[in-house]
Structure 1
């Protein structure tokens, strides 16, 4: 279950109802998927073949299609990152730059962990959303954010896009450094 850590106040938000309410107030979509749908052999597997990726997409087909109907996505895929990922540190440096998109950024975590750092409203400032398997998040378009991995550096996620070519990151510069 996701945990939120507000950077400027030190507040920690836990529990599904509290997390959902906090994120909703910040305009961030959040829901949970049933992890029992994932084939057991893929529960903690991070080095995936194309067949493994297809199995994950098939296991969550009804959940994906539900998001498609509700939110207008047209394309989806799987991203898997771990110590086995070539050039992982270089990829993470690219991810860890605050940016925005002209469409929302959606991730459904199916294995491992990740953190979205999101700029909230003026009173809240930046907050970390620590995600685990089953957590689904959509950071709204034009919202400054970035993504990184937790200490174990392992994540598998379904990504959904509105534009078939995916999303393009646009650099975001703070007027004052607020991270």
Structure 2
């Protein structure tokens, strides 16, 4: 279950309903998928074949199509990052740069863990959203944020997009973290 750390106060928010309420107050969508659907052999696998990725998309097809219908997504895929990912550090540098998008950025975590760092309302500032399998988050368009991995550097996520080009980021100068 996701947990939140507000960076300027170190306040920690936990519990699904508390997390959902806080994120809703920051206009961030939060949902939770049932991970019991995912076969055991895919739950801890971080180097996936194209067939494995297709299986994940097929298993969560109903959830993905529901999100797509509600929020206008047109394409989706599975991304996996781990120590076996070529150029992992280079990719993380790109992800860890504060940026915005012209569409919301949605991720459904199906394996591993990661952290979105999001700029909240002025009275909140930046906050971390620590995500684990089952957590689904949508960062609103034009909201400064970035993403990083936890210490074990392993994640599998379903990504959904409106734009056919997928992930297009605009860097935010001097974010004042």
TM-score by length of 1: 0.97
Corresponding residue of 1:52: 52
Distance in 2, matches of 1:173 and 1:105, equals 19
Corresponding residue of 1:107: 107
Corresponding residue of 2:146: 146
Give the ranges of 4+ consecutive aligned residues of structure 1 lying more than 2 Å apart after TM superposition: none
SS in structure 2 at match of 1:12: strand
> How many pairs does the alignment contain?
177
Corresponding residue of 1:164: 164
Stretches of structure 1 that go unaligned for 5 or more consecutive residues are none
Distance in 1, matches of 2:120 and 2:53, equals 33
RMSD: 0.7
- Residues 106, 160 of structure 1: 8 Å contact kept: yes
Offset of residue 163 of structure 1: 1.2
Offset of residue 178 of structure 1: 2.1
1:20 and 2:20 are equivalent in the alignment: yes
- After superposition, the C-alpha distances for 1:68-116 in whole angstroms (9 at most, x for unaligned) are 1111100000000000001111110111000000000000000000000
Corresponding residue of 2:64: 64
Corresponding residue of 1:35: 35
SS in structure 1 at match of 2:114: strand
Distance in 2, matches of 1:20 and 1:110, equals 19
TM-score by length of 2: 0.98
1:120 and 2:120 are equivalent in the alignment: yes
- After superposition, the C-alpha distances for 1:3-39 in whole angstroms (9 at most, x for unaligned) are 0000001110000000000000000000000001112
